[in-house]
């Protein structure tokens, strides 16, 4: 099993030195991913389960990185990585999405192109297999940024996206969590819900050979959510942000705090206006601002020079990075 290499608070590799040795770009090709943050303490998963998570994270990294290596765009790389995670039942996105209070699955996603700040987002779709593809379709083939619910599904139909029956998203593990959550709530008014009911997301960032950043995030949202709740994942500036002039961010955590703190934009604003590194900005936002608000979760951040951070204040965060400097690391727990 791969050794856990990443420190609890953040990993940062200054990769800009590579630029001089690289004749295809000024910064190293890089992909960074997450598969959600939560109460992921060692012992939570069996060795087999850990291996499955790590294999899928590596598979997503490899798929995205292969695209970057063949000269593909950062958008194509993050889409490929996120689709793999959406199709895996082990993450709370796509296939493995959690259930709403009504026992349904309602999926959110967003994507942003750092080269021109184009963006697309969708909230509350129930039958589109890969929400990240729909978010990209909104970005590239509509004059809008965000569509919700039935309207988003109508647009998906018109654009020819792949549909599935809602039961495609029904996994036994999530269904059992849903039933347990309902029961816990009945007994104790939410207080006995497992803390990680509030999060679970997948996301990816990439830096391509043209120096373009991209960010994407996809989720099934919060277990037992209701009232058409929209979390941070489809909100540009909260769950997702990308701008070649500052950085790219994908968030995972208790979404309401990420929305109030506009976490993705705040990190990049601290880089843009405050002169911070991506690591310093991520540290401030997660360990000062989010923590002071009582919120939990994490972010992945990638700068235009290839510097990256994977920062969280929860016990763990599924995460990984692969870059042109030969780094390939995945991790689950904090250390």
Site residues for a copy of itself per CB under 8 A:
112, 117-119, 121, 123-124, 142-152, 154-155, 225-231, 235-238, 241, 255-256, 259-262, 265-266, 269-270, 272-274, 293
Complex with a copy of itself: residue 84 or 267, whichever CB lies closer: 267
Contact criterion met (CB below 8 Å) for 122 and 137: no
24 as an active site residue: the answer is no
Complex with a copy of itself: residue 89 or 151, whichever CB lies closer: 151
Question: How far, in whole angstroms, is CA 1 from its chain's centroid?
Answer: 24
Contact criterion met (CB below 8 Å) for 32 and 302: yes
Q: Is the dihedral of CA 207, 208, 210, 216 positive or negative?
A: negative
Q: How far apart are the C-alpha atoms of 192 and 237, rounded to whole Å? A: 31
Catalytic residue among 9, 100, 201, 252: 201
We find the least distance from the C-beta atom of residue 276 to a copy of itself, in angstroms, to be: 9
We find the least distance from the C-beta atom of residue 89 to a copy of itself, in angstroms, to be: 26
Closest CA to 248 of 297, 206, 310, 200: 206
Q: How far apart are the C-alpha atoms of 121 and 134, rounded to whole Å? A: 8
DSSP tag of 102: T
Complex with a copy of itself: residue 54 or 283, whichever CB lies closer: 283
We find the least distance from the C-beta atom of residue 231 to a copy of itself, in angstroms, to be: 8
Side-chain-side CA neighbours of 323 within 13 Å: the count stands at: 28
Q: Is the dihedral of CA 262, 263, 264, 268 positive or negative?
A: positive
Contact criterion met (CB below 8 Å) for 132 and 216: yes
Q: Residue 182, class by beta-carbon neighbours within 10 Å (0-12 exposed, 13-18 middle, 19+ buried)?
A: middle
We find the least distance from the C-beta atom of residue 270 to a copy of itself, in angstroms, to be: 6
- What tokens appear for 161 in the block? 């996206």
We find the least distance from the C-beta atom of residue 218 to a copy of itself, in angstroms, to be: 17
Complex with a copy of itself: residue 50 or 272, whichever CB lies closer: 272
Complex with a copy of itself: residue 39 or 148, whichever CB lies closer: 148
Complex with a copy of itself: residue 42 or 228, whichever CB lies closer: 228
Q: How far apart are the C-alpha atoms of 297 and 318, rounded to whole Å? A: 11
We find the least distance from the C-beta atom of residue 282 to a copy of itself, in angstroms, to be: 15
Q: How far apart are the C-alpha atoms of 6 and 265, rounded to whole Å? A: 24
Side-chain-side CA neighbours of 230 within 13 Å: the count stands at: 18
List, by residue number, the catalytic residues.
Answer: 201
């Amino acid at each position: 099993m791969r050794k856990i290499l990443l420190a609890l608070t953040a990993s940062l590799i200054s990769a800009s030195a590579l630029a001089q040795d690289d004749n295809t770009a000024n910064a190293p090709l890089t992909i960074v991913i997450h598969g959600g943050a939560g109460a992921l303490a060692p012992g939570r998963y069996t060795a087999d389960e850990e291996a499955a998570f790590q294999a899928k994270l590596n598979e997503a990294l490899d798929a995205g990185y292969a695209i970057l290596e063949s000269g593909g765009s950062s958008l194509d790389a993050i889409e490929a990585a996120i689709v793999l995670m959406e199709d895996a039942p082990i993450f709370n996105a796509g296939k493995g999405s959690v259930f709403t209070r009504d026992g349904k699955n309602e999926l959110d996603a967003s994507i942003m192109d750092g080269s021109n700040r184009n963006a697309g987002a969708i909230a509350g779709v129930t039958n589109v297999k890969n929400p990240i593809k729909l978010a990209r379709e909104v970005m590239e083939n509509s004059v809008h940024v965000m569509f919700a619910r039935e309207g988003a599904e109508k647009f998906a139909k018109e654009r020819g996206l792949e549909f599935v029956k809602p039961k495609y998203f029904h996994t036994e593990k999530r269904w059992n969590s849903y039933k347990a959550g309902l029961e816990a709530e009945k007994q104790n008014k939410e207080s006995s819900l497992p803390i990680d009911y509030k999060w679970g997301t997948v996301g990816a960032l990439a830096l391509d050979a043209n120096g373009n950043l991209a960010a994407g995030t996809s989720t099934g949202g919060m277990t037992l959510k209701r009232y058409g709740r929209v979390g941070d994942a489809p909100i540009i500036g909260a769950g997702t942000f990308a701008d070649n002039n500052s950085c790219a961010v994908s968030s995972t955590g208790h979404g309401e705090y990420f929305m109030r703190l506009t976490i993705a934009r705040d990190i990049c604003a601290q880089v843009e206006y405050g002169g911070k590194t991506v690591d310093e900005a991520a540290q401030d936002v997660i360990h000062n601002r989010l923590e002071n608000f009582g919120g939990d979760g994490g972010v992945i951040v990638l700068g235009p020079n290839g510097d990256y951070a994977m920062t969280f204040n929860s016990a763990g965060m599924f995460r990984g990075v692969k870059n042109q400097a030969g780094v390939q690391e995945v991790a689950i727990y904090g250390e």
